A = this chain, B = another copy of it.
């Protein structure tokens, strides 16, 4: 039986040099490896909105560094009344994308470190907090990768959707963190990845980062996933999450609900992988998670090439909600929760205060 063996990935889409934030432009991958430099908080907000960077944990970390830049800008406008300006700039970053909870979570963590009466100290603690969140995210991914891999049977074929990889996080990845850890243990027979319309996160990003790590994968259209499952080959569907509600409902890339529904019909187990920062106890259930709709152009055009007939209407929600009952296991850096439910998640998070 063949199995995939790979080395550890050090790809990170987010680089901070103390002065500016460099983001690997995920709109251009894999054709171009270009870095976008953000020297102010507004350009950070734009980079999140325009999807230079995407993926819930990566958006949170980017926003955190944006808050560092925001505080420095506010300090230049007024040393005394800097706080109001700072909160305004942070609000601009917060408003960029609605579904991923990590964006607001990271900004809340940053704001907690601020002492309005001590600007100099706040500038230091903000930068330290952002760097700390970044390091903690990478460490969390390696931990959850191992928790997830422990559940994978030898010679498994797994299916993943979108990109919940190094590119979507501070590094190593969530769903792809599990894939990486499982590959290092020699547990994987084949990795299948959906191309992930409309943004092609699967064919552009997941394919690129796994091949960079020497992990071969097979790409398919979303429409072929049920047919693949019917062949009996797939043992696990492994995906990330943009927000997990208190009851275990999972908001993730559009198509996750479809794949999880099909998985339950085909005896394929569903693993949702996310750092505990993705769990939003303030949102009781999935119906309450705001679902972003993006521009119709994402469906009608590929780059500047018009594909669809002119004048057609478009329905383009970019996330959906998978009910907890379709999830076999939720894997976090704090451990795994089989058949997630409100009490089980509450129990897992008892120690989160001192965690991430």
Contact = CB atoms under 8 A, between A and B. Distances in A.
Interface of A: 29-31, 192, 194-198, 200, 203-204, 207-208, 211, 216-228, 230, 253-255, 257-258, 261-262, 265, 299-300, 302-303, 305-317, 320
Contacts of A316: 220-221, 224
A284 B321 CA distance: 40
A310 B118 CA distance: 52
Nearest to A29: B309
B302 A211 contact: no
A222 B197 contact: yes
Chain multiplicity (copies): 2
A172 to B, nearest CB: 18
B315 A257 contact: no
Contact of A227 (B31, B254, B308): B254
Contacts of A302: 302, 305, 307
A195 B195 CA distance: 14
A313 B217 contact: yes
B258 A312 contact: no
A186 to B, nearest CB: 19
B312 A211 contact: yes
Contacts of A30: 308-310
Most chain B C-beta atoms within 10 Å of own C-beta, residue among A196, A219, A257, A303:
A219
Contacts of A228: 315
B224 A223 contact: no
Given A192-B315, A203-B300, A227-B320, A219 B258 contact: no
B211 A31 contact: no
B219 A313 contact: yes
